[in-house]
């Protein structure tokens, strides 16, 4: 923790890299978005996506790559018992990447990341107007805190760090949509839809 703080203090530009990495949780490619806003004719491509500003992250999870110890570093650095355990785990879990469950999981995570990410950008501003603002603000703050922490670890789209964040994003986005609907349905004070008080006899 101290090393990270010292590094950021010495090189504040690292914060932008953390923000860029964190925005991939919402399907937003910050570099591509800035390039588009600046009118650049060519959008930057990355390993994570094709350089589309939003809704551009549709690949498989990074941990679906099943190669293990391709350079031999692990075998030379850990005890043989631990290496045997890792190889045993590898033989069991690697075939799962071809399973229907894994495919559906990847598809759903991609959908949440890209579709819900765009909705997040449009609706989270309405969370303070929710009838349950305390709960949804807490959920949104928790999601942003996790995203900020994971961004410091270079965690973003396709990583295992998405798993605890996406449910929070879904809950907060649902609350934001409900708050927006309440604002739309709520009649303005004294407006034509406001029922007039009944006169007593």
- The residue among 167, 181, 78, 169 whose CA lies nearest residue 121 is 169
The whole-number pLDDT of residue 192 equals 46
Looking at the structure of the chain, the number of domains it has is 2
Query: Residues 119, 123, 127, 131: is their CA dihedral positive or negative?
Result: negative
> Both 44 and 83 in a single domain?
no
Structure tokens at 169: 């994003």
> Both 24 and 110 in a single domain?
yes
DSSP classification of residue 71:
S
> Both 155 and 106 in a single domain?
yes
Query: Residues 126, 132, 138, 140: is their CA dihedral positive or negative?
Result: negative
125 within some domain: yes
> Both 48 and 69 in a single domain?
no
90 within some domain: yes
Query: Residues 58, 63, 64, 66: is their CA dihedral positive or negative?
Result: positive
CA dihedral 42, 19, 1, 167 (to 10 degrees): -120
> Cα angle vertex 94, ends 91, 99, to 5°?
130
> Both 8 and 82 in a single domain?
no
> Both 33 and 67 in a single domain?
no
> Both 144 and 161 in a single domain?
yes
> Both 75 and 90 in a single domain?
yes
What is the share, in percent, of the chain residues with pLDDT greater than 70?
74
Q: Is residue 140 very low, low, confident or very high in pLDDT (cuts 50, 70, 90)?
A: very high
The whole-number pLDDT of residue 64 equals 62
- The residue among 198, 10, 27 whose CA lies nearest residue 111 is 27
> Both 84 and 177 in a single domain?
no
Q: Is the pLDDT of residue 22 over 70?
A: yes
> Both 84 and 156 in a single domain?
no
> Which tens digit of pLDDT belongs to each residue from 183-198?
888 765 444 444 555 5
CB-based contacts of 36, cutoff 8 Å, min separation 6: 43, 53
pTM of the model: 0.69
> Which tens digit of pLDDT belongs to each residue from 37-59?
777 666 556 655 666 777 777 77
Helix (H, G, I), strand (E, B) or coil at 109: helix
Residue position matching structure tokens 């998405």: 162
> Both 31 and 105 in a single domain?
yes
Q: Are 28 and 61 in contact (CB under 8 A)?
A: no
Q: Is the pLDDT higher at 24 or at 196?
A: 24
Q: Which of 107-116, 126-135, 183-192 has the lowest mean pLDDT?
A: 183-192
> Both 18 and 109 in a single domain?
yes
33 within some domain: yes
Which residue range forms the structural domain that includes residue 164?
Answer: 2-57+100-185
Using alpha carbons, list the distances in angstroms from residue 155 to 8, 85, 164, 186.
17, 26, 12, 40
- The residue among 157, 149, 151 whose CA lies nearest residue 63 is 157
């Amino acid at each position: 923790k101290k090393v990270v703080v010292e590094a950021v203090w010495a090189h504040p530009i690292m914060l932008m890299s953390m923000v860029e990495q964190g925005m991939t949780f919402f399907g937003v490619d910050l570099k591509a978005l800035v390039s588009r806003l600046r009118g650049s004719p060519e959008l930057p491509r990355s390993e994570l996506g094709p350089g589309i500003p939003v809704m551009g992250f549709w690949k498989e999870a990074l941990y679906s790559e099943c190669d293990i110890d391709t350079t031999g570093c692990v075998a030379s650095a850990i005890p043989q018992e631990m290496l045997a355990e890792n190889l045993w785990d590898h033989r069991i879990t690697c075939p799962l990447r071809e399973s229907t469950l894994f495919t559906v999981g990847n598809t759903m995570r991609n959908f949440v990341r890209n579709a819900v990410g765009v909705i997040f950008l449009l609706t989270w501003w309405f969370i303070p107007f929710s009838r349950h603002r305390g709960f949804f603000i807490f959920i949104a703050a928790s999601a942003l805190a996790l995203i900020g922490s994971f961004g410091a670890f270079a965690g973003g789209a396709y990583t295992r760090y998405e798993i605890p964040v996406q449910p929070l994003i879904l809950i907060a986005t649902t609350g934001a949509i409900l708050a927006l609907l309440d604002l739309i349905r709520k009649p303005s004070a004294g407006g034509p839809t406001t029922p007039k008080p009944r006169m007593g006899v």
